Amino acid sequence: MSSLDAWLTLAAAPGIGPRTSARLVERFGSPEGVLAAAPGALGELGLKPAAIDALRRPDRTWIASVLTWAGQPDAWILAREDPRYPPLLLQIADPPTLLYVRGDPQLLAEPQVAIVGSRNPTPTGREVTREFARRLAACGLIVTSGLAAGVDGEAHAGALETGKTIAVLGTGPDRVYPAGHRDLARRIAGQGALVSEFAPGQGPLARNFPRRNRIIAGLSLGTLVTEAALRSGSLITARQAGEQGREVFAVPGSIRNPLARGCHALIRDGALLVEEAAEVLSALQLQLRGHLAALPSAATALLPGADGADTGVAGLDPDYRQLLAALGFDPVAPDELISRTGLPAAAVSSMLLVLELGGHVSSCPGGRYCRSRA
């Protein structure tokens, strides 16, 4: 049995999680040593009969199927002893026994910032997420997230515009959840990495996603929450980041936006309030020293208007500028805009459509509108 076979046998045994496997390897010197240990010695360490039997009689058919998956050109299995295993992840309390990777495994050791948030963000939340991801990736940071709908997808997509991204999966590395992110996952595998502690063939199970969150936080120097409700799973990721001694960042929002309350709670609990990607870099500058040699030139991407975008607001007619001024950045109903501006209802309706097509405003749930952050 090869060393990887032994690691797979250990990881697949029922009741042997990351902490137990680490304790066993430390006690017996290697995964092969664990498999060679007497049943009595394993029982003295608290292993149940089913776990001992699985170690003594490994499922060789399953092992062969996993090794077949790993035989693909862009597929890798990293055990904790592998030099490519990310060192930051080894620092958490329960680093995965194995990591299944599609894409570039070297990226796992590169400096990363996690971006997480709501699965149903507002248009402003989507814009803010993509902007942070795009600018952090442009500076050489890897943007890490969980491939979920909403903020996660925007973070990956924004990072792919200017750099690289890592998606941590709650499924096996050969499954994509949600299915609508299959094309995004393919792009990430080609321009970054997909990583999971779950073996090939594992489908989406609710209990696996909180476990995924600790890996997102554990890979990253800091975790940024751009928009989240009070009971969002993103707050679990942020809490785990704090427990791991990593930085936690939160983007503030409108007090009328329920998806800003999670971020506000994090800020009250000590998270750093950030409005620009440069503030994230500033907070991480000690950890990043020596990693981002290109930072002085890349940092110009963080300056306002450095991407060359021209909102064209100054060139709008006075009535349009008046409507934008009345709109602000919080969601507003058209009736309220009519009241604030004194403009006719038909005019407000047509002007909102023109402004939306021009990228100046975004439609929000409930028929409301808000000004685009850009």
Asked if residue 272 lies in contact with residue 250, where contact means CB atoms within 8 angstroms, the answer is yes
Q: Say whether pLDDT at 309 is over 60.
A: no
Residues 161 and 252 in one domain: yes
Residues 113 and 157 in one domain: yes
Please tell me the total count of domains within the chain.
3
In the chain, the largest separation of any two C-alpha atoms, in whole Å, equals: 85
Residue with tokens 């090794």: 67
> What global pTM score does this model have?
0.80
pLDDT reported for residue 303: 37
Residues 237 and 119 in one domain: yes
Rounded Cα gap, residues 56 and 50, in angstroms: 10
Both structure tokens of 288: 């990043």
Q: What is the DSSP string of 244-306?
A: TT-EEEE----TT-GGGHHHHHHHHTTPEE-SSHHHHHHHTHHHHTTT-TTHHHHGGGGSTTT
The answer as to whether 59 is a domain residue is: yes
The answer as to whether 74 is a domain residue is: no
Q: Which residues contact 127 (CB under 8 A, 6 or more apart)?
A: 362, 372, 373, 374
Q: Say whether pLDDT at 317 is over 90.
A: no
The answer as to whether 347 is a domain residue is: yes
The answer as to whether 216 is a domain residue is: yes
The answer as to whether 198 is a domain residue is: yes
Q: Say whether pLDDT at 363 is over 90.
A: no
Residues 317 and 290 in one domain: no
Buried b / exposed e over 241-263, threshold 16 CB at 10 Å, is bbebebbbbbbebeeebebbbbb
**For residue 297, what pLDDT band results from cuts at 50, 70 and 90?**
very low
Q: Say whether pLDDT at 322 is over 90.
A: no
pLDDT per residue over 195-208, tens digit each? Answer: 999 999 999 999 99
The answer as to whether 3 is a domain residue is: yes
Last residue of a domain, which of 302, 324, 353? Answer: 302
How much is the average pLDDT of 207-233?
95
Rounded Cα gap, residues 270 and 282, in angstroms: 17
Q: What is the DSSP string of 133-156?
A: HHHHHHTTPEEEE---TTHHHHHH
Residues 19 and 143 in one domain: no
Both structure tokens of 77: 């299995």
The answer as to whether 278 is a domain residue is: yes
Residues 333 and 230 in one domain: no
Last residue of a domain, which of 242, 273, 302? Answer: 302
**For residue 368, what pLDDT band results from cuts at 50, 70 and 90?**
confident
Residues 285 and 350 in one domain: no
- What CATH number has the domain bearing residue 319? 1.10.10.10
**For residue 314, what pLDDT band results from cuts at 50, 70 and 90?**
low
Pairing label, strands 361-364, 368-371: antiparallel
How much is the average pLDDT of 176-200?
97
Last residue of a domain, which of 243, 274, 302? Answer: 302
Q: Which residues contact 139 (CB under 8 A, 6 or more apart)?
A: 277, 281, 292, 294, 295, 298, 299, 301, 302
The answer as to whether 96 is a domain residue is: no
How much is the average pLDDT of 255-274?
95
Residues above pLDDT 70, as percent of the chain: 92
pLDDT reported for residue 273: 96
Q: Can you give the residue range of the structural domain that contains 12?
A: 1-68
How much is the average pLDDT of 274-291?
83
Q: Say whether pLDDT at 233 is over 60.
A: yes
Residues 7 and 115 in one domain: no
Q: Say whether pLDDT at 306 is over 60.
A: no
Residues 197 and 54 in one domain: no
Can you give the C-alpha Rg of the chain in angstroms? 24
pLDDT reported for residue 311: 45
**For residue 301, what pLDDT band results from cuts at 50, 70 and 90?**
very low
Residues 120 and 168 in one domain: yes
Mean pLDDT, all residues of the chain? 90
Three-state secondary structure readout of 40-82: HHHHHCCCCHHHHHHHHCCCHHHHHHHHHHHCCCCEEEEECCC
Residues 337 and 191 in one domain: no
pLDDT reported for residue 313: 62
Residues 317 and 189 in one domain: no
